[in-house]
Structure 1
Amino acid sequence: MRYLEDHFTPVEEEITAYDLPVTGRIPAELSGRYLRNGPNPASVDDARTHIWGMGQGMVHGVRLRDGRAEWYRNRFVRVPGYAPMVHVIEHAKQIFALAEGGLPPARLDDELNTVGFAELGGTADGFTAGAHSKRDPLTGELHSLSYMPGHDFVRYTVTDTAGAVAETVAIPMTRTPFLHDFALTENHVVLWDTPLGFDGFECRWLPQHPTRVGVMARSGGDVRWLDIDPVHVSHTLNAYDDENGVVVDLVTAQGPFDPADPGAIRPVLDRWTITPDKVHQRRIDDRPQDFPRINDAFAARPHRYGYSAATALYGIPFSSEGAPSDEVFTNALVKHDLLRGTTQVHAFGRDEAVGEAVFAATGQAEDEGYLLTYVHDPRRGAADLVILAAQDFTGEPVARVHLPARVPLGLHGNWLPDRAGVAA
């Protein structure tokens, strides 16, 4: 029942609202749409056995332009048989809702209505773009790793700026892993094979299965595998190449991991430096956090800043660095300065609920821009779109856009800055 109640309660109605009320000032340089996807089951056969992430997806969006919040829309992702509810991205001037594994994405129009199935990253054996497909900001290409139960390989695919498959590689595996995310650098693809995987068509933690990390050149070729102690990998912050090897910042947790209860783990932020013969692991921050993001202009290249969420999904208190012992939060955003090894915490009210925050760049400096996230406001019984200045992270939000509906805690999204010809 946990993932159908409180901050997870599904929304039943699709809503369109215009000229939204705002507290504060929306920065005039923010012109685009903030979209976020997540599970929103329209109906559940048995609430006692419901798994978060099953059922329909719903995309929530706010359109910002000229210092105004022009509209809010929420729309079910309407494809039969499965749920593209993990992510929402823009590629080749189209919007896609992404599903787990290698299942086809759904294509959305500019008003978030479902157009139909999409062949984004589609290959002859039925694989398509994965849930955490990553865009290289310098080439504009989209890189994906996809898996499907019953297949003893995962598929790496590169989709060009026009949406056509430019390269694809089948990577042999000993069984089908649950490969929710991966890492990308300028020259390499990094993946992991953990105890979480498929036994037939059932996804479960298999403690006897070894944990290993693989590194492959983006041009393909053999994968170099290195063994590490058992660990669950949640999400990647970013990765890059340097003189020491391949550096990956990512969220990990000790197992076992139960797909039916994703909030039962304690995720932390780590750094892996992968050399030819070893994965060197270092804890960056041992406080519970997840949903890490960066300024995507620095994706696959060296980064200094990262942002993560201490979210009610896990329900674990998060202490503010250097704060009194009673200053703990279950809802906060965290800014990591990975060069200095420091953090800043922006806490929300005890009964509010915050999820992933995305970075909207407005300048050339890495932290020149804003963080956008949905925060449930229990006083109104609805959500706000909260806008924080990245360079004044602990200060008051520059704006709170008051939405007319709840936004359940969900998964991933993106800031889609305006492109030529977009009038929605």
Structure 2
Amino acid sequence: MRQHPQAVAEVLDDSGEANPYLLGLYAPVHEQITAENLKVIGEIPRDLNGVYLRNGPNPRHPVRGRYHWFDGDGMVHAVHFENGRARYRNRYVQTRAFRAESSGGRALWTGVMENPKGNPFGNARGLPLKDSANTDLIFHRGRVLATWYLCGSPYTLDPLSLETLGAETFLDTLTGDVMAHPKNDERTGELFWFDYGRTRPYMRYGVVGADGRVAHCVDLDLPGSRLPHDMAITENHAVLMDLPLFQDQEAARQGRYKLTFDRGLPSRFGVIPRRGAAEELRWFEAKPCYIYHVVNAWETGDEIVMDVCRVARPAPAGTGGPLARMLSYLKLDARMYRYRFDLRTGRTSEGYVDPDHNTEFPSIDARRTGYPTRYAYNVSVKDAATNLFDGLVRYDNLTGERQAYHFGEHRYGSEAPFAPRDGGTGEDDGYLVTFVTDERDGVSEVQVLSAADLAAGPIARVIIPTRVPLGFHATWVRSDQLR
């Protein structure tokens, strides 16, 4: 069953250039498997019970035109831990577009680097691109939602079988799309989201209630079309973003994909009551930047504190052809950063938490989303031509301590969600789980580490009987949630 990275590089970019996001560690796998009683080096803790799921792009058919890493079909890789044993399975997310291409036996969509004219259909807000649900995974009301990096239909998956149960409509109350990173408040059972488009309203903000229906939705009229990726919630508010990175509209009219970063515009953060009206939205201005991912946000007195992974140069001056420019845009260069929004004065304070280290894809104890957190667990990003996560970093908000673990030479990992031990209540009273792949032989494993002591290295290494391509976001579903 073992496949060497180069042996599965069957999907090649037809632009005439070797696209590194189709080769080696990124090359797609085509076999969907289920494997029981996986080999373990070390010992899986008996109080680690639940399922680790990670999403990512995995093109099923030879691509049309130039391939962008965000284009690939969504594939979820999952390891279920139960009573000291582990089993693995991987499945494609059966989106509407995936089913259409399966019926046709070939790729029907071009990607974001090509003219979308001729694509069969797009998302609900009229973006003519393939919604592949390849980006994040969010647990809500007993199921997992697979989302897309722009805005699309969230697809519902069974967290154990990985069966795609269909596009989530929230009991037929959803109109429009949902962005990549909706926020689940486990204390209230609510899910918070936004979508955006090229025409007014440029953003809509909504709340799914604990009963599974959209309970609140409001139009927010930004100055123009934007590309926000994430948001935050606190106990009483949501925080939305208007950042000065957007698609060039003239290029879009010509069928070209071109991003513009306007340093003359501020970053703006919109604070709105959880179920507030449009006129209750308050904007806080800050230095221009882009933000892919929020760590967490919470209220303290009259302030909202928000930690993010901040990108100061989201549009690098890439040289060369389209492939070189894509590689420069994709390269992550982010720093841990903190904003404070004073609800009394309207002022913004901002500054670095860690100005020196490139870390991204943050995770926290998901039970505390929107409430004060002490720890954040990020991946460290290697200085390389493509995105490679070479280790994990734990940030301590109380002491300022930074604890790190390196996967080892030629070994690269994935986003590592926090997995609380059975009965554990503390933010580091549990484990981190992450896929790690060795680029030399294509062997993949899941590493289990103590969240309280990353430097000690893995407690257990679970060997996966197939290579797991590098991908995007992950989640942990506890055994009590599975029940």
Indicate how the Cα distance of structure 1 residues 295 and 203 shifts in structure 2: closer, same or farther if over 3 A, else same.
farther
Cα displacement (A) at 1:46: 5.2
TM-score, with structure 2 as normaliser: 0.79
1:166 pairs with 2:230: no
Q: Out of 172-181 and 397-406, give the one that drifted further.
A: 172-181
2:55 counterpart SS class: strand
Structure 1 match to 2:206? 157
Structure 1 match to 2:85? 68
One of 50, 61, 73 as aligned partner of 2:67: 50
Cα displacement (A) at 1:51: 1.2
Question: Could you tell me whether the CA contact under 8 Å between 1:309 and 1:356 is conserved in 2?
Answer: yes
One of 292, 310, 313 as aligned partner of 1:252: 310
Question: Could you tell me whether the CA contact under 8 Å between 2:50 and 2:482 is conserved in 1?
Answer: no
1:102 pairs with 2:151: yes
Cα displacement (A) at 1:397: 0.7
Cα displacement (A) at 1:30: 1.6
Which letter does structure 2 place at the counterpart of 1:388?
A: L
Looking at structure 2, the residues matched to 234 and 101 of structure 1 have their Cα atoms a distance apart, in angstroms, of 11
Question: Could you tell me whether the CA contact under 8 Å between 1:121 and 1:128 is conserved in 2?
Answer: no
TM-score, with structure 1 as normaliser: 0.90
Q: Deviations over 1:191-227 (max 9, x none)?
A: 2211222344556224255421211111213211122
Looking at structure 2, the residues matched to 35 and 349 of structure 1 have their Cα atoms a distance apart, in angstroms, of 23
Question: Could you tell me whether the CA contact under 8 Å between 1:129 and 1:157 is conserved in 2?
Answer: no
Cα displacement (A) at 1:34: 0.7
Larger Rg: 2
Cα displacement (A) at 1:44: 4.3
Cα displacement (A) at 1:234: 1.6
Cα displacement (A) at 1:257: 3.0
Q: Deviations over 1:118-145 (max 9, x none)?
A: 2148656x32332111111211211112
Greater share of residues in strand: 1
After TM superposition, the structure 1 = structure 2 runs for residues 56-205 of structure 1, keeping only pairs within 5 Å, are 56-69=73-86, 71-81=87-97, 82-109=131-158, 110-120=160-170, 123=173, 126-200=175-249, 201=252, 202=257, 204-205=259-260
Which letter does structure 2 place at the counterpart of 1:19?
A: N
Question: Could you tell me whether the CA contact under 8 Å between 2:331 and 2:385 is conserved in 1?
Answer: no
Q: Deviations over 1:276-308 (max 9, x none)?
A: 332211101121110011111221111111110
1:359 pairs with 2:412: no
Indicate how the Cα distance of structure 1 residues 267 and 401 shifts in structure 2: closer, same or farther if over 3 A, else same.
same
Structure 1 match to 2:407? 348
Looking at structure 2, the residues matched to 121 and 279 of structure 1 have their Cα atoms a distance apart, in angstroms, of 39
Looking at structure 1, the residues matched to 76 and 146 of structure 2 have their Cα atoms a distance apart, in angstroms, of 8
Looking at structure 1, the residues matched to 166 and 420 of structure 2 have their Cα atoms a distance apart, in angstroms, of 31
1:398 counterpart SS class: strand
Q: Deviations over 1:223-265 (max 9, x none)?
A: 1112222101120000000125110000011124379444334
Q: Out of 266-275 and 127-136, give the one that drifted further.
A: 127-136
Cα displacement (A) at 1:379: 5.4
Indicate how the Cα distance of structure 1 residues 12 and 170 shifts in structure 2: closer, same or farther if over 3 A, else same.
same
Structure 1 match to 2:352? 283
Structure 2 match to 1:322? none
1:331 counterpart SS class: strand
- Segments of structure 1 that go 5 or more residues without pairing to the other structure are 318-328
Which letter does structure 2 place at the counterpart of 1:288?
A: N
One of 392, 398, 412 as aligned partner of 1:333: 392
Cα displacement (A) at 1:336: 0.6
Structure 1 match to 2:379? 309
Looking at structure 1, the residues matched to 346 and 286 of structure 2 have their Cα atoms a distance apart, in angstroms, of 11
Which letter does structure 1 place at the counterpart of 2:347?
A: K
Question: Could you tell me whether the CA contact under 8 Å between 1:232 and 1:257 is conserved in 2?
Answer: no
Q: Deviations over 1:356-375 (max 9, x none)?
A: 11001121122101001111
Structure 2 match to 1:417? 478
Greater share of residues in helix: 2
Looking at structure 2, the residues matched to 160 and 418 of structure 1 have their Cα atoms a distance apart, in angstroms, of 23
Q: Out of 152-161 and 29-38, give the one that drifted further.
A: 152-161
Q: Deviations over 1:355-411 (max 9, x none)?
A: 211001121122101001111134551211111011122102111110011112211
Q: Out of 101-110 and 389-398, give the one that drifted further.
A: 101-110
Looking at structure 2, the residues matched to 342 and 135 of structure 1 have their Cα atoms a distance apart, in angstroms, of 28
One of 272, 277, 281 as aligned partner of 2:339: 272
Cα displacement (A) at 1:43: 3.0
Indicate how the Cα distance of structure 1 residues 360 and 121 shifts in structure 2: closer, same or farther if over 3 A, else same.
farther
Structure 1 match to 2:448? 387
1:175 counterpart SS class: coil
Which letter does structure 2 place at the counterpart of 1:301?
A: Y
Question: Could you tell me whether the CA contact under 8 Å between 1:257 and 1:265 is conserved in 2?
Answer: no
Question: Could you tell me whether the CA contact under 8 Å between 1:121 and 1:157 is conserved in 2?
Answer: no
Question: Could you tell me whether the CA contact under 8 Å between 1:91 and 1:161 is conserved in 2?
Answer: no
Looking at structure 1, the residues matched to 384 and 401 of structure 2 have their Cα atoms a distance apart, in angstroms, of 24
Cα displacement (A) at 1:311: 3.1
1:22 pairs with 2:40: yes
